[in-house]
A and B are shown apart, each in its own frame.
Chain A
Amino acid sequence: MTAVTGEAPATGSGVLGQPLDSREDPQLLRGEATYVADIDLPGTAHMAILGSPVAHAKILSIETKAAEQLPGVLKVATAADFTDVMPLPCIWIPGGVESHFPPHPYGLPGARPVLTGDTVRHVGDPIAVVVAETPRQATAALAAIAVEYEPLPVVTRADEALAEGAPQLHEAVPGNLNAYWTCGDKDRTDAAIAEAEVTVELDLVNQRTINSPIEPRGAVGDHNAATGEYTLYASTQGPHNHRFLLSALVLGIPFNKLRVIAPTVGGSFGTKGYLYPDMALVLLLSKELGRPVKWVDTRTGLMNSTVQGRDHRQHVTLAGTRDGRITAVRCTSYANLGAYPSTIGPGVATALMGRSISGMYDIDAAFCEVYAAFTNTVSLGAQRGSGRAEAAFLMERLVDRYASEIGMDPAAVRRKNLVPKEKFPYDNGLGWTYDSGNYQLNFDKAIELSGYADMPARKAEARTRGKRLGVGLATYVAICGVGPSTRMSQEGMLGGTWESANIRVHPTGEVTVTVGSASTGQSHGTVFAQVAADELGIDPDTVQVLEGDTQKAPYGQGTYGSRSYSMAAPAVALTARKIKSKLIRAGAVFLGVPEDKVVYEGGRVHEDGNEQNTKTFAELAMSMWYGWGLPAEIEPALDETTHFDPPDFNYPFGTHVAVVEIDELTGETEVVSYTAVDDAGHIGNPKIVLGQIEGSITHGLGQALMEAAVYDEQGLLISSDLTSYALPRAADVPFFTLDKTVTPSPHNPLGAKGAGEIATVPPAAAVVNAVVDALADLGVQHIDMPLTPEKVWRRLRGEAQ
């Protein structure tokens, strides 16, 4: 067995791993936190965006004169006003394949112009903007802009976009194919399937869903004519990343002329890590008008412009033996990238999904191919659990289908195929090498905790109440800790993915930690303080945490893919160790003993064997501030920075069990219990992670039961507000039964694995498996999500899908 070397957390002050209350909460509970919409700079003008009302058309003319004359209107701008602005780039093209994109002057794939001038490609494609004295005046003036369109044919499905004769979206992209991407061993997989005792196949639709952070996006641009500097306040997950992309690759201004500030961000789940036209527009128009320019999206605007998630159509095959040993898995997927490649959407639709399809199973042959296509829909991007949720869905549906085919219990099939713990690190044959795991322990715990053995009796009891009870299992492995920069470059990521932290110890002994990451609701201020306090052996209340402002924070890539605690927190820990190491060297001077006689313990240094000869952290801080008596090789003050680039990703995993009851009369599916056992390695603050797990599961249940972005044949997004797009509400979910296992990752000094979104990965599969289980005696083998009452009701009455 390969040793797992993930270190246990430091125990300096014992606060790491404790469920401390979130220090962010009081401000949030009092409504005092500042979100973008709450920012009110003196002299602010307000911007509104005219989005295309049609999905695909040539723009013949745009007439703006009438709008310009309306009260309060300061500026009406179209694409013609921004001809020297570069298109927004895409920075994650699938690695190792030829990709086709609309061009960008730097040779990068250009995602989209800041305003569309010639051809609109989805409803909401931005055509013009108005800046006015008030938001109402800006919005009212949009109606006075006259645009003449010549309609073009529309396509909204990836598979149809690739068919011969399909409408073409981009001249530079023949046949709408952005990329044909593969991973795994095709020949070996095809052979295994051909020779298999049993094969099962499914056609799956992983429907497009809308992330729906409750705060819509917003941006405030503020150009300072005296200094030539720009400030952007934006609801972003990655202020540094946006600074780099916007300054160098869109506006063509020096990097140090742009400051990006992420204030409090009202949820994101992936969508606010992307570059959007509005971010550039508020900056450009602020410069032109000499005033701050503010834009806040509406809900319908968000649904027609902010990246959407999932959206694969797949044909999947699993091969195995009659006694339950899985021998191969194969997936052909048509991924819908939408009208333009979003900042990292093509990578999400390919590598993040394809390399994960074998999940927790030890499978000899696996292969995935993805056709990523452009269509007349909103651009595709990340969504809580992105890629990994799609992968888990197909695999876990296949395992149930296979179990049914060979007449074996789905739990028994799964258990038989789990990667054994002595096989780690485990190469899954699709491109990922799992760092550590004890899948059997995790799986058994979930099975026991869920009362799986009692299900037959519960099914019988439910039938007496007119209910059909079903139980569904789903396991998963989620790649997190993005990540090793070189490895990501091989995946096609155009940029480093390391993370950094700075610790500055003040003369009075308090500490300021700054990180390049940026919270969108994950209580970073609490958790990073715990990490630093634990390493340094000090009170977390003396540790301040700053982030989200590129002028104050060290560089970093931001919060996405559940990476902050396994990327930024290790950077904090390693920086604290640098501080400790310096204090040991300086302590030798202050204590008058050799360095190897200095012990750092409990927030103080003392002489080994003589605890009376000691200096506290506060005393050391003051001494270092004065700098008196330090030898030349020890610089005064305590100010250290670390850039953490891990040797590899980390791989949290888990097992979820959904129990549903279906009403025979109405077809309504109720989740009556839900058990989840997740493993995210060592956890920094279990109270905060608990909330993330619960929210993630609820999000996944939403996809299973009610959420769907629905486009009609004209490409109109019908589900474009919260009256037509269903999100789970409090009464839609029961309390969950949760537990964890702890398998540290060897790839960071905290033994941490990603946690924030991992529990979104399996719920859709678990619920669909449960519903199919409940309907199995009717011959139902699959139902596409969302499992609306009508859809289930029709299946109860024997209608085909």
Chain B
Amino acid sequence: MNGRPEQFTAQPNELLVERLRDGLGLTGTKVGCDTGQCGTCVVRLDGRSVKSCLVLTASAAGAEVATIEGETTRGGELTGLQEALRQEHGTQCGFCTPGMVMALGELVDATAGGEAPTEPEIREWLTGNLCRCTGYHSVVRGVQRACAAARAEAPATVPATVPEPAVVAASTAAGQEV
């Protein structure tokens, strides 16, 4: 569990998300829908993102489980993806955020050595995670920023080769004062 061994006995019908939240106190993983639709409970199981409300704890025996708590130390420095999402304000209420970070982390890692994912690819990857606040745009921009930064190995800057999001920034200069 986040690199540390955990030993316990699970009931056959116990869900992984219950073990994480109620048994281990890892409340960063959220429950939003009970039917595997919303993605707030996404964790990584042996490196692959899964919805922990659809995984029986017993079936995860022997696997490596990574949760949001393992991404960074409490109050510690953000990962590249988290930092990019912060810069793009890819959150609002934050309830879907841990699940998104876990799901998108796999995408960023998986593409780090090759071509950056395209916008449609990022959106497709995100279809397992629902967000009601942001409409996803800032999250997509955050992933674009994170992928660019991972390639440049300079998390704080975005190379000029990154396609600018097709959003015209709200221009103060153009705003007409009445």
Interface positions of A (Cβ within 8 A of B):
4, 17, 21-22, 24-35, 37-38, 40, 135, 211-216, 264-269, 296, 298-300, 421, 436-438, 441, 445, 449, 520-523, 683, 686-692, 694-699, 721-723, 727-731, 733-744
- Chain A hits for B123, CB < 8 A: 730-731
A521 and B68 contact, Cβ closer than 8 Å, known pairs A691-B138, A737-B167? no
- A contact face: mostly helix, strand, loop, or mixed: loop
Closest to A697 in B: B135
- A31–B89 CB distance below 8 A: no
A721 touches B37 (CB 8 A): yes
Q: How large is the interface on B (under 10, 10 to 19, 20 to 34, 35 or more residues)?
A: 35 or more
Contacting residue for B85 out of A17, A29, A438, A441, CB 8 A: A29
User: In the bound complex, do residue B94 and residue A24 qualify as a contact, i.e. CB atoms below 8 Å apart?
Assistant: yes
Given the known inter-chain contacts A25-B89, A299-B35, please indicate yes or no for A35 contacting B95, CB distance below 8 A.
Answer: yes
Q: Please name all residues of chain B whose beta carbon is closer than 8 Å to the beta carbon of A299 when the two chains form the complex.
A: 32-35, 38
List chain B residues, Cβ under 8 A from A699: 132, 135
11 further contact pairs, Cβ within 8 A, besides A441-B176, A741-B175: A30-B71, A214-B133, A266-B95, A298-B34, A299-B34, A522-B92, A698-B137, A721-B34, A735-B166, A737-B168, A744-B178
Contact A742 B28 (CB under 8 A): no
What are 27 A-B interface contacts by the 8 Å CB criterion? A17-B172, A22-B86, A30-B28, A30-B71, A31-B28, A32-B28, A37-B30, A40-B25, A214-B33, A214-B93, A214-B131, A214-B132, A266-B32, A267-B93, A438-B178, A521-B93, A523-B89, A691-B92, A695-B132, A698-B134, A729-B136, A731-B127, A733-B136, A736-B167, A740-B170, A740-B171, A743-B176
A363 to chain B, nearest CB (A): 22
B 1-49 contacts with A by CB, 8 A: 21-22, 25, 27-35, 37-38, 40
State the main secondary structure of chain B at its contact with A: loop
Q: Count A/B pairs, Cβ under 8 Å.
A: 238
| Chain A residue contacts of B171, Cβ below 8 A | 739-740
Q: A694-B137, A733-B137 are in contact. Are A727 and B94 (CB under 8 A)?
A: no
* A434 smallest CB distance to B (angstroms): 12
B50 within 8 A of A: no
With A721-B34, A733-B135, A735-B137 already in contact, the answer to whether A25 and B85 are too (CB < 8 A) is yes
Q: Given A690-B170, A739-B168, A744-B177, are A727 and B132 neighbors across the interface (CB < 8 Å)?
A: yes
**Contact of A729 (CB < 8 Å), options: B72, B76, B126:** B126
Task: Let me know if B57 is at the binding interface, CB within 8 A.
Answer: no
Q: Which chain A positions have C-beta within 8 A of B174?
A: 445, 739
Report B148 CB to chain A, min CB distance, Å. Answer: 16
The answer to the question of B150 belonging to the interface, with a C-beta cut-off of 8 Å to chain A, is no
Chain B residues close to A by CB (< 8 Å): 21-22, 25, 27-35, 37-38, 40, 67-69, 71-72, 74-76, 78, 82, 85-87, 89, 91-98, 101, 119-120, 122-124, 126-127, 129-140, 165-172, 174-178
Partner of B175, one of A212, A694, A696, A742: A742
The 5 closest A-B pairs by CB, nearest first: A31-B28, A28-B94, A521-B93, A698-B135, A266-B95
**Shortest Cβ distance from A186 into chain B, in angstroms?**
34
A residues near B85, Cβ cutoff 8 Å: 25, 29
Return chain B residues, CB-CB under 8 Å to A264: 93-94
| B72 and A214 contact, CB distance less than 8 A | no
Bound complex: CA A266 to CA B131 (Å): 10
Closest to A679 in B: B175
- Give chain A nearest CB distance to B90 CB in angstroms: 8
Nearest-Cβ distance from residue B1 to partner chain A, whole angstroms: 14
Specify the chain B residue showing the minimal Cβ separation from A441: B176
Assembled-state Cα–Cα distance A161/B169 (Å): 48
Measured in the bound complex, the distance between the Cα atoms of B124 and A721 in whole Å is: 22
| A215: contacting residue among B75, B95, B119, B178, CB under 8 A | B95
B92→A735 contact, CB < 8 A: no
A430 to chain B, nearest CB (A): 23
- Write out the residue numbers on chain B whose beta carbons fall within 8 Å of the beta carbon of A738: 167-170
B37, B67, B76, B78: the one contacting A722 at CB < 8 Å is: B37
Within 8 Å by CB of A267, from B72, B86, B92, B176, lies B92
Residue contact A736 to B137, C-beta cutoff 8 Å: yes
Q: Which residues of B contact A25 (CB under 8 A)?
A: 85-86, 89, 91, 94
> Contact between B176 and A742 (Cβ–Cβ < 8 Å)?
yes
Taking the closest CB of chain A, its distance from the CB of B109, in whole angstroms, is 17
Contact A438 B134 (CB under 8 A): no
CB pair A267–B166 under 8 Å, yes or no, is no
Is A438's CB under 8 angstroms from B176's CB? Answer: yes
- Nearest CB of B to A339, in Å: 24
| Least CB distance, B25 to chain A, in whole angstroms | 8
The answer to whether A698 touches B136, judged by C-beta atoms less than 8 angstroms apart, is yes
Residue from B38, B86, B133 in contact with A26 in the complex, judged by beta carbons closer than 8 Å: B86
A735–B170 CB distance below 8 A: no
Minimum distance in angstroms from A41 CB to a CB of chain B: 14
For residue A696, which residue of chain B has the nearest CB?
A: B135
Please tell me if the beta carbons of A686 and B170 are within 8 angstroms of each other in the complex.
yes
Do B89 and A22 have beta carbons less than 8 Å apart? yes
* Residue numbers in B under 8 Å from A37 (CB-CB): 21, 27, 30-31
| Cβ-defined contact, B178 with A28, below 8 A | no
Instruction: Return chain B residues, CB-CB under 8 Å to A135.
Output: 22
Q: Which residues of A contact B82 (CB under 8 A)?
A: 26, 29-30
- CB-defined contacts of A436 to chain B, threshold 8 Å: 178
User: For the complex, what is the distance from the CA of A328 to the CA of B124, rounded to whole Å?
Assistant: 46
User: Which single member of B40, B140, B165 contacts A214 (CB below 8 Å)?
Assistant: B40
Bound together, the chains give a CA A13 to CA B27 distance in angstroms of 38
How far apart are the CA atoms of A613 and B123 in the complex, in Å? 59
Q: Which residues of A contact B27 (CB under 8 A)?
A: 31, 34, 37-38
Which A residues are CB-close (under 8 A) to B97?
28-29, 31
Q: By the criterion CB–CB under 8 Å, are B92 and A695 in contact?
A: yes
For B98, list chain A residues within 8 Å (CB).
29, 31
Which residues of B have CB within 8 Å of A733?
A: 135-137
Partner of B170, one of A268, A721, A734, A739: A739
Given contacts A28-B97, A31-B68, A521-B92, contact A730 B136 (CB under 8 A): yes
**A722/B92 in contact, CB under 8 A:** no
Q: Is the CB of A29 within 8 A of B89?
A: no
A22 to B168, CA, bound (A): 20
Most A Cβ at <10 Å: residue of B25, B30, B35, B92: B92
